[in-house]
C-alpha cells in the first residue's frame, strides 16, 4: 500500500468502496419507504432519479471520507515507520 498515491486511495476507498455502495443502499431504502413495495420497479424514474442524485451526493461524502482515511493511514504508517527505525 506504500506505492498507492493519494488520489487513487481516495477514489478507491472513499468513492468506490463507500460512496457508491451507500448510495445504492440508500436508494433501495428510499424506494421501499417512499413508494408502495409492490408497485416499485427498480427501473422506474423515481428510483433512477434518486440513485443518480444520491450517487452524486454520497460520492462527495465518499471523497471526504477517503481523504480523512488517507490522513489517518499516513499518520499510522509514519508512526509505525518511526518505531521500526528506532
Domain spans, the chain: 6-85
> In this structure, what C-alpha cell is assigned to residue 4?
498507492
pLDDT of residue 40: 56
pLDDT of residue 77: 82
CB 27 within 8 A of CB 54: yes
pLDDT of residue 46: 80
Compute the distance between CA of residue 72 and CA of residue 61 in angstroms, rounded to an integer.
17
Return mean pLDDT, the chain: 84
Banded pLDDT at 37 (limits 50, 70, 90): low
Neighbouring CB atoms inside 10 A of 7's CB total 12
pTM: predicted TM-score of the whole model, two decimal places: 0.76
Banded pLDDT at 47 (limits 50, 70, 90): confident
- Residue 8 in this model has a pLDDT that exceeds 60: yes
Amino acid at each position: 500500500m506504500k506505492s498507492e498515491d493519494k488520489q487513487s486511495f481516495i477514489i478507491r476507498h472513499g468513492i468506490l468502496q463507500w460512496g457508491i455502495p451507500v448510495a445504492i443502499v440508500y436508494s433501495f431504502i428510499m424506494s421501499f419507504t417512499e413508494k408502495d413495495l409492490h408497485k416499485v420497479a427498480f427501473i422506474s424514474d423515481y428510483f433512477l432519479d434518486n440513485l443518480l442524485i444520491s450517487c452524486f451526493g454520497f460520492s462527495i461524502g465518499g471523497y471526504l471520507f477517503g481523504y480523512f482515511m488517507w490522513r489517518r493511514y499516513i499518520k499510522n504508517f509514519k508512526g509505525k515507520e518511526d518505531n521500526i527505525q528506532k
